[in-house]
Structure 1
Amino acid sequence: MRASFFTLGCKVNQYETQILKQMFSAEGYDIVEFGEQAEVCVVNSCTVTDTGDKKTRQALRRAKRENPGAVVALCGCMPQAFPNLCDELPEAQVITGSYNRKGLLDAVKLSLATGERVIDITPHQRGEGFERMRAKAFDEHTRAFVKIEDGCERYCSYCIIPTARGPVRSKPIEELQTELRELAAQGFKEAVLVGINLSCYGKDLGLRLLDAVKAAAAIPGIERIRLGSLEPELLTYEDIKALASLPQFCPQFHLSLQSGCDETLKRMNRHYTAAEYMKIVKMIRSVFKNSAITTDIMVGFPGETDAEFEASLAFFKSVGFAKAHVFAYSPRAGTKAALLNEQVKKSIKEQRSHRMLTAAEQAREQFLWSQTGIIVPVLFETSENGLNSGYTMNYTPVHVACSENLQGTIRQVRLTGAAEDACVGQLV
């Protein structure tokens, strides 16, 4: 039998799809590309925005249309956050949530055996543990994404994720190290530690994120360690100094900003001010010689006035980000922000998005050109038609024209210029 998978959303979702592929493969399934003929089609959903829900519905309809006789299964954040939508998703013959991944395989087996529709969404509850899972391979050949944390308890006013993902829980250190040893043995040189609220790693175990990074750094063969998105106010100066002492640590910090205006941040229920965010950025730059600060920033949050937007834009420009994801606020059912009055008009959000995107593009170009003239180690991930591409420690993409296949190697490169959202360089 064959099974195909379609994944929406974050790196955590992608990691979990990898786990599902392994589970189905161990049961004798051949894993094929989504769109190919298969007896089971799995859609792993994201529900951060309404757009994610729409894409999930589209994927379900596509799977049923292209494989009318298949069992179409839906899992992930959308059904976990909104179990009441199950009746509106007739294409999905099996529906599970964002917890109990093994439950999906069991539900599919039951549906295949009986022909019945199976809905099995395990509710999140206080005290639940980290679901044991260990990735054995990835589509990428040099970088492994490793989920070490799940859940969020921050309750930002615009975000449904605490409902979809439940309380904070963390992967035990021993399990993390076992997973990394196996991945290193396969030739993976870089580990990216990811989570739903990564900064809260260890809260349930009496540990901290720094403990996970140190544990990863102790694994022979793992030459680089990178972190996923972080809540800025949970990063201390002591943490930054400790991370700098680890030669494997990559100085790229994705610090989610959301807004550069204090009044907007309060309505978002974020737990820092713009000044506190800038203090953290300066601490990082004082410790790491050539760090990259990346971020997410939202425009058009309910109640955002022209003055608040201008304050946010000015702050954004003052930071000097290496890269930014800009997006307009969209109401999310089940969140406090969706109930707020003073929703910003679509036309105004579009105007503000354009201005913020322009600032982000300018910041990106300035950052890339600031990298030129230096010599840095690059981990090459692809090699095609004489063009080798990879990333520096601070996650600057680099292209090197070279007839040699450099995939999977770390080589010293002199960065000589920038073009098309990347630096170009020459082997030293």
Structure 2
Amino acid sequence: MNENKLTTYFVNVLGCKVNQYDAQQIEQLLERYGLEKTDTSDDADLIVVHTCGVTADAARKSRQTIRKMQRNNPLAHVIVTGCAANDELTQVDQDPVFRVPAGADWLQRLVEQLDALAMPHRHGVDGITTDTFTISRFEGHTRAFLKVQDGCDIGCSFCIIPQLRKAPRDKAIADAVREATALTAAGYREIVVTGVSVGLYGREQGSSLAEMLRSLVAVPDIGRIRLSSLHPGELTAELLDVWASSPAIMPHLHLSLQSGSDAVLAAMRRGYTADEYLDAVERARAALDNPAFTTDVIVGFPGETDTYFQESHDFCRKVGFSQMHVFTYSPRPKTIAARMGNQVNGALAMERSEQLRALGEQLAADYHRQFAGKNAEVLVEGSKDGRATGYSRHYIPAEFGATEDLRGQMVSLPVRETSASGIVCDPGMLSRL
């Protein structure tokens, strides 16, 4: 490491799409200070660990990553940012140079700390705020994430994120459009509109997520637009109307279920019943072209009986998800659920999780089967050893033989095979879009 002046940086990011976006902001901020990115942390003068704290296991991994960075490069300045930046969550023997926990002004606080370090130069940093500092690239990704919202106050009993990310806040529509325009100009064919709870968008701005999307689809040469996770209560008639009238918005909804049992949903404080969730699904199916529904389900939540689990299992089958992310409940300290009685035996929770994952594979196979023999539009995200991989409009994993690197390109080709894991396409009839 250069002991007189910092010249290189490395960002290690853990966690969700929002964290991935934040990491891009950090990288492009550090470059305004004149630092150059290195391929490994061992060569960096400055290391940023952007942490995740959504679960106790995520905080543990963040803590391990900090220690690893310090051990492998003891001369580096290590900065800890993100949801688990608080020293209570990621306490280590050697404290980092500084910590910047998540919050409304975290990027401004990062600037204040960086100003105290020996940087090569400082350009275009004054006046930066977390929500107005837009990015112009999404390095290492084929799809670009566009964060339009942060924070949450829904108050699920198992979730600590409202304590870490704080109150909901929005990016101005004009800033989001400017960012989407830059990302499209940079060649990104798909933009994922994301946030901690993106469906809450508009409360601070006096607008709505539908209005945001209406502005984004008008960006010249915009490719695909995909939405990240929604709460079923956020699927308004206005949003579905914009969605249905805009071919650029993909027919894929991630609606987090968490449980199909009303008793468990009430204990989770999710704010809806299974019937209300199903109503949102049916309204979306009526408005959109055969949409894919993906979801998250927690198994083994405190008080989940055999009957409640079976209700959840049967409800998932009734909805017919195209993909299910099944999580076995583990207590998160400082949450209401962690203090609940009737904690479910770990072995039983694991057994139930396996049952639900098996159902998820069956439902995925059923959904994918209907696309056999039809053409799929695939955005290619990977190309290696003669195989290209990507996702269809309905967020189905796709692969096909390829003799050239097609990453970042949109192609259309017929579906030859389907399975629970996705679709296999015939490259002999490939056309570029």
Whether TM exceeds 0.5 here: the answer is yes
Contact 1:73 1:108 survives alignment (8 Å): no
Q: Which residue type is aligned with residue 57 of structure 1?
A: R
Cα distance between partner residues in 1 of 2:93 and 2:274: 42
Cα distance between partner residues in 2 of 1:85 and 1:162: 15
2:96 aligned partner: 92
Q: CA deviation at 1:112?
A: 5.8
Cα distance between partner residues in 2 of 1:279 and 1:13: 32
Contact 1:45 1:76 survives alignment (8 Å): yes
Q: Which residue type is aligned with residue 316 of structure 1?
A: C
Q: CA deviation at 1:317?
A: 1.6
Q: CA deviation at 1:374?
A: 1.3
Contact 2:243 2:288 survives alignment (8 Å): no
1:251 aligned partner: 251
Shift of the 88–198 alpha-carbon distance from structure 1 to 2, 3 Å rule, reads same
Cα distance between partner residues in 1 of 2:338 and 2:204: 31
1:304 aligned partner: 304
SS in 2 for 1:354: helix
1:407 aligned partner: 407
The 5 Å alignment of 1:161-240 reads: 161-240=161-240
2:3 aligned partner: none
Cα distance between partner residues in 1 of 2:89 and 2:359: 39
CA RMSD of aligned residues (A): 1.9
SS in 1 for 2:43: coil
Tell me, yes or no, if structure 1 residue 339 matches structure 2 residue 343.
Answer: no
1:20 aligned partner: 26
SS in 1 for 2:321: coil
Cα distance between partner residues in 1 of 2:196 and 2:251: 20
Shift of the 415–18 alpha-carbon distance from structure 1 to 2, 3 Å rule, reads same
2:76 pairs with 66, 70, 81, which one?
70
Normalising by structure 2, what TM-score? Answer: 0.90
Tell me, yes or no, if structure 1 residue 374 matches structure 2 residue 408.
Answer: no
Contact 1:152 1:162 survives alignment (8 Å): yes
Contact 1:93 1:111 survives alignment (8 Å): no
Once the two structures are superposed, what CA deviation does each residue of 1:191-235 show, in whole Å capped at 9, x if it has no partner? 110000100101111111111111110111212110001111111
Cα distance between partner residues in 2 of 1:107 and 1:96: 9
Q: Which residue type is aligned with residue 64 of structure 2?
A: Q
Cα distance between partner residues in 1 of 2:205 and 2:17: 23
Contact 1:231 1:256 survives alignment (8 Å): yes
Once the two structures are superposed, what CA deviation does each residue of 1:121-156 show, in whole Å capped at 9, x if it has no partner? xxxxxxxx9632211111245421000001101010
Q: CA deviation at 1:412?
A: 2.0
Contact 2:142 2:408 survives alignment (8 Å): yes
2:17 pairs with 11, 24, 37, which one?
11
Q: CA deviation at 1:239?
A: 2.2
1:121 aligned partner: none
Contact 1:3 1:24 survives alignment (8 Å): yes
Once the two structures are superposed, what CA deviation does each residue of 1:20-52 show, in whole Å capped at 9, x if it has no partner? 011112212121234432111111111110000
Contact 2:14 2:50 survives alignment (8 Å): yes
SS in 2 for 1:110: coil
2:124 aligned partner: none
Q: Report percent identity of matched pairs.
A: 35
The 5 Å alignment of 1:240-319 reads: 240-319=240-319
Contact 1:143 1:191 survives alignment (8 Å): yes
Q: Which residue type is aligned with residue 213 of structure 2?
A: V
Contact 1:210 1:239 survives alignment (8 Å): yes
Say which is worse superposed, 231-240 or 9-18, in terms of deviation.
231-240
Q: Which residue type is aligned with residue 56 of structure 1?
A: S
Gaps of 5+ in 2: 1-6, 120-128
Q: Which residue type is aligned with residue 345 of structure 1?
A: N
SS in 2 for 1:199: helix
Cα distance between partner residues in 2 of 1:250 and 1:418: 20
1:106 aligned partner: 112
Cα distance between partner residues in 2 of 1:103 and 1:89: 24
Shift of the 411–111 alpha-carbon distance from structure 1 to 2, 3 Å rule, reads closer
SS in 2 for 1:156: coil
Say which is worse superposed, 338-347 or 368-377, in terms of deviation.
368-377
Q: CA deviation at 1:410?
A: 2.2
Cα distance between partner residues in 2 of 1:246 and 1:140: 28
Gaps of 5+ in 1: 114-128
Q: CA deviation at 1:288?
A: 2.0
Contact 1:191 1:225 survives alignment (8 Å): yes
2:425 aligned partner: 425
Shift of the 294–308 alpha-carbon distance from structure 1 to 2, 3 Å rule, reads same
Cα distance between partner residues in 2 of 1:45 and 1:337: 23
Shift of the 150–411 alpha-carbon distance from structure 1 to 2, 3 Å rule, reads same
Contact 1:71 1:108 survives alignment (8 Å): no
Shift of the 227–86 alpha-carbon distance from structure 1 to 2, 3 Å rule, reads closer
1:157 aligned partner: 157
Cα distance between partner residues in 2 of 1:34 and 1:10: 21
